[in-house]
Amino acid sequence: MTRKQRRLVLIGSGLVVLAIAAVLVLTALRDSIVFFNSPTDIVEKKVEAGSRIRLGGLVQPGSLQRKDIDAVFEVTDGKNAIRVTYRGILPDLFREGQGVVAEGRLIDSTSFRADNVLAKHDENYMPKEVADALKKQGHWKDDYGKAPEAQGASQVTPK
């Protein structure tokens, strides 16, 4: 075997080892990667039932129902809505009409069981995925990201 052939065998072997390592890493991460979807994405992409995903959008006004620690509400992007069931304490900032990201499993194309609900952390924040989904659907309002003074709120001055 010539020196050139040994070098090619060594490089080829290294590439095979790297490919095997990449396949093993991607296989291991497949179960832990959670993809973000809007309600329209779920309907259009036909996401499989039982898939672990993040669902983002706005909490449909008038859809929240609470009984003890169980909550049922709808997440909408203005075009489609998904019914979400959640057992647990909702975040303090969780409100109807506000942005929310729910993480859990899709039951079917209209139902979702959340095991974690994230609400926006202040009045100026909209999760990037939710904002992008709303912009994509054409339901983005320019005042979502502005400070309260810019939205016409009065400023209180101390005495």
- Binding residues for heme, as ranges, are 121, 125
Alpha-carbon distance of 81 to 73, in angstroms, equals 10
Alpha-carbon distance of 37 to 64, in angstroms, equals 21
**Cβ atoms of residues 41 and 48 within 8 Å:** no
Provide the annotated binding site.
121, 125
Q: From residue 86, give the alpha-carbon distance in Å to each of 43, 66, 78, 79, 150.
A: 21, 10, 21, 22, 34
CA-based nearest residue to 72, from 52, 90, 86: 86
Ramachandran assignment for 61, one of left (phi > 0), alpha (psi -120 to 50 degrees), beta (any other): beta
Q: Which amino acid is at 1?
A: M
